[in-house]
Amino acid sequence: MKKIVIANFKMNKTPSETKQYLISFLSKYEDYKTDLILALPYTSLSIAKFMIDKREISLGAQNLCDDDEKGCTGEISGKMLADSGVSHVLVGHSERRAKFKEDSKIINKKIKNGLKNRLSIILCVGESLADKNTMKTLSTLRMQIEEALKGLYENELENLIIAYEPVWAIGSGKTPSPKEIENAVRAIRKVVEEDFSKKAAQEIRVVYGGSITPKNISKFASIEGLDGILVGGASLESSVFLQIINAMI
Ligand code: 13P
């Protein structure tokens, strides 16, 4: 099975910087070795779409509006993303939960809206440091997943990836141990089994994200039950990101 590798550029790179990045990245990246998804800022989507044309690379966005109504100044709808060549969208990232006050209701609506527009969802879940210190990691994951997936049909999970991103590991240089990730992935699959089915739990794709670098990537490459990785800061330098990708093959 090919590993999933997702880059989240967050609010980095102008369209011309993205172009420069892709000139270098695309000349060295070998398609078909991983399932690569580039989640870029809205303003870089169009240049990236043009440049990755005919390559086996998926384009992702980092957010979408939870609504289809037209009176949403400043928002971007799922329909607009799909028509821009976007196939995936991040939902529930901890930065959006914290800074933009996205609660579980909004996250659930965004997921439904994305799926309705034939977008695949990358649902981010993860515990805070306080949760971890009070042994609430697994109950937090359960709550976040149950609330996010409320009302979904089992067949819709085909178009969903769950990204386990502990909040304390994002951008901090700290990472969980392989055992901790394995336990979290098992817990995530258990929630899916209880809410949907054993088959859904086996088939749902789960990735890990948080402070991944070329130095620590070997630790994430062969964790039981883990289908791939989600990379933030270390995806911003093409040569660094390529080192990470090559370690996943
Ligand atoms: P870092 O890799 O920079 O820790 O970010 C992870 C992340 O938030 C990806 O969504």
> What are 74-96's pLDDT values in tens digits?
999 999 999 999 999 999 999 99
Q: Output the CA angle 111-116-120, nearest 5 degrees.
A: 55
32-71 per-position pLDDT tens digit: 889 999 999 999 999 999 999 999 999 999 999 998 878 8
| pLDDT tier at 99, thresholds 50, 70, 90 | very high
Nearest CA to ligand 1 atom 2: 232
Q: Which atom of ligand 1 is nearest to the CA of 231?
A: 2
Q: Is 237 a catalytic residue?
A: no
The two three-digit tokens of residue 121, written as one number: 């969802």
Which helix (H) or strand (E) segment is 8 a member of?
strand 3-8
Closest atom of ligand 1 relative to the 211 alpha carbon: 4
> Which of 89, 167, 170, 216 has the most ligand 1 atoms within 8 A of CB, as the residue to mutate?
170
What structural domains does the chain harbor?
4-67+86-247 (3.20.20.70)
- What's the gap in Å between 93 CA and the centre of ligand 1? 10
Phi, psi of 84 (to 5 degrees): -95, 5
Task: Determine the pLDDT at residue 32.
Answer: 84
Residues 6+ apart with CB under 8 A from 110: 63, 64, 65, 66, 91, 92, 102
Distance CA 129, CA 134 (A): 9
pLDDT at 181: 98
Name beta bridge partners: 90. 122
| Position 205 pLDDT exceeds 90 | yes
210 lines ligand 1 (CB under 6 A): yes
pLDDT at 183: 97
> Choosing from 30, 75, 165, 194, which is the catalytic residue?
165
Give dist(CA 151, CA 144) in Å, integer: 14
Q: Sort strands 205-209 and 120-125 into parallel, antiparallel or unpaired.
A: unpaired
In angstroms, the CA 165 to CA 145 distance is 13
For the chain, the average pLDDT equals 97
Predicted local confidence at residue 155, as pLDDT: 98
Q: Is 207 in a helix, a strand, or coil? A: strand
How far, rounded to the nearest angstrom, does the alpha carbon of residue 147 sit from its chain's CA centroid? 18
Rounded CA Rg of the chain:
17
Q: What is the reported pLDDT for 95?
A: 98
pLDDT in tens, 206-229: 999 999 999 999 999 889 999 999
Q: Of 9, 96, 230, which is best to mutate to test ligand 1, by the most ligand atoms within 8 angstroms of its C-beta?
A: 230
Can you tell me the distance from the alpha carbon of 29 to that of 203, in angstroms, rounded to the nearest whole number? Answer: 27
CA distance 51 to 192: 37
| pLDDT for residue 1 | 85
Percentage helix, strand, coil for the chain under 3-state DSSP, each rounded to 5: 45, 15, 35
pLDDT 10s digits, 112-152? 999 999 999 999 999 999 999 999 999 999 999 999 999 99
Residue nearest to atom 1 of ligand 1 (CA): 232
* Per-residue confidence (pLDDT) for residue 68, from 0 to 100: 82
Tell me how far apart the alpha carbons of residues 52 and 114 are, in angstroms, rounded to a whole number: 22
Tell whether pTM > 0.95.
Answer: yes
Is residue 154's pLDDT more than 90?
yes
Tokens of 99: 């800074």
